[in-house]
Structure 1
Amino acid sequence: MVSDWRYMSPSFMKMKKDEDCKKIAEKALILLRKRGEEALAIATKAVMSEEIAYGPLRSALQYFLQEIRFGAPHSALISLTCEAVGGNPNDTSLIGAAMVLIASAADIHDDIIDNSEVKNSKLTVFGKFGKNLALLAGDVFLFKGLIILHEYCKKLPVEKKERILTLLEDSFFHLSVAEAKEAGLKGNFNIHPKEYLDIIREKASVIEMYARIGVVIGGGDLEKENILGQYGRTLGMLSIIRDEFIDMYEPDEIKNRIMNECPPLPLLYALQNPKIKAKIMKILTKKEVKEDDIYKLIKIVDRIEDVQKLKVEMKESVEKILDRCTFVKPQVYRELRLLLSATIEDL
């Protein structure tokens, strides 16, 4: 999983079928879609207005934008933090569109690396169109995103342009290093959870970048940028860790994690105990891992003390960062809280 903000995908919002939980999930999704809809529309128009003569490639691009890309959480966060420091969120739509496309490229390329044919119960571009078309579709999104970013930055004061480009460069270098480290852990059942948490922290730098860009566009000072940047980092980490828990509940996803990636974080904690590891490996080395096996794994993992500690730390981190955001006006503060609340609900 990448930058993507696949961490803000429908799976990110997956809750138990409880009315209160559904309300939090639905409100968060509505918020993300509302704040990101204009940027997504710009991004979609920018790509689909191109004359792409080869039908299958055009279909792959259209499929991702209409069927996979459920919204634009990247631009939603930029919009939110821009308004948090008194800026006009409408000023973020174009750069939001650029981020949508760049992140889409990262999503597609990441699915190729992970051999992920299905995500959130839907075929990925890789799963539907194959490796070659997926790679090229990702390239189209990347190049178009960079062109839009260039056009947007030309209109900015030099200081803002340089700051945004520096943030973008730094965060994607961190992401690339994190992804390379993660790829090197494929099939490794001896990873220490701290090592994997460090990778998650690096990957979350992209979400921090989105938050910081919004502050820069909104004219916020460095102190506010640092606080809201930390908010973004926290949101990113919690979102990724939540996906790690969700992957434990989805048979197809956990099978793919075991075969093509590294085990989910909660499972890594359980694997630290030699006796429990033997039980887990007995399940995972079966020719076919069935739903009943997944439930057994979940029961084992839920009893691990370090997993329970992790859940407590996640909840504490929400209040810790929100306590630093008291300068934000109430309506925007409520939106900041809503996104964080969705990451820890039902844990």
Structure 2
Amino acid sequence: MSPLTPDVAAIPKAELHVHLEGTATPDLIRRLAARNGVQLPTERLFNPDGSFAWNDFLHFLESYDLAAAAIRTGADYRDVTYEYLAACAAEGAVYVELIASLDHGKNVGLSDEEHLAGIAQGIDDAQRDHGITGRIISSIVRNFGVADCEDVARRTVALGHPYVVGFNMAGDEANFPASDYARAFAIVHEAGLGCSVHAGEHAGPESIRAALELPGVVRISHGVRAVEDPDLVAELAERQIVLEVCPTSNVVLGVFPTYEAHPLGALRAAGVPVTLGSDDPPYFGTTIGREYELAHDRLGCSLADLREITETALNAAFSDTEGLVNQPDRRADL
């Protein structure tokens, strides 16, 4: 990828929506597979140019799972975390919340403690080397069922890890009603964790309304299809519900046909607070810096708007971003 333009590169950035396993580049996945003796299905997983191969949403999910299977140890999680945060810092990012699945660690034989220790080591090493702050959002998947999601909620709370600051639900929003997961959210909300839900991406405004009924939810992951319901947009603006918007993901996965059709600008104009995220960056050919540049070049955001988006993200973060005072030069630029 070509370098960011100087004006966009100079803007401090913050990211609240990115899936940790989905940050691992093809090169890193190949290295981890070799280290762990994992045989990758190369022809199915990679294009001839070395990028991840997928052609629709279901194929993307398959490729994601095949690649994530190479991430197997605490040291692997350290490397995935460190390499992503280092890349973000190189583009001017000061803060990132990483969505991580305890179930993935469990499925490859890692204890929750080993899993989080690896991620935390990557966060600490990136902070030391690059001055970027990272935190963790524990994630559940609707499709895995209510019992599994409540188990993950209880495990998340029991761990009490200082870097785990939030809780998120992903998965099939159209076929698994949000209301079924109210107990899982009550468990983490009562423990003081921030809550966000994937909604309004592959289902419409009704999915967002249902997510907002869950205990503690103050942010919506994606949420862009709120634009279909003016009353909902007005409610989001009035309640200052933050949308974690991932424009490239929305376009390449077909939520909107083009960048010009994307509602980021309309939502901001209506007073809805938005942030920018890269979702699963190497799969979609983007980075957090690219999302900022795209918002500037194609979605109508001025440089001042981009600074405001960063301030929104820092204010909406589930941890105390005053910890960024060791970056006074960057924070002062906002």
> Normalising to structure 1: TM-score of the pair?
0.29
Q: Which has the higher helix share?
A: 1
Q: Which has the higher strand share?
A: 2
> Normalising to structure 2: TM-score of the pair?
0.30
Larger Rg: 1
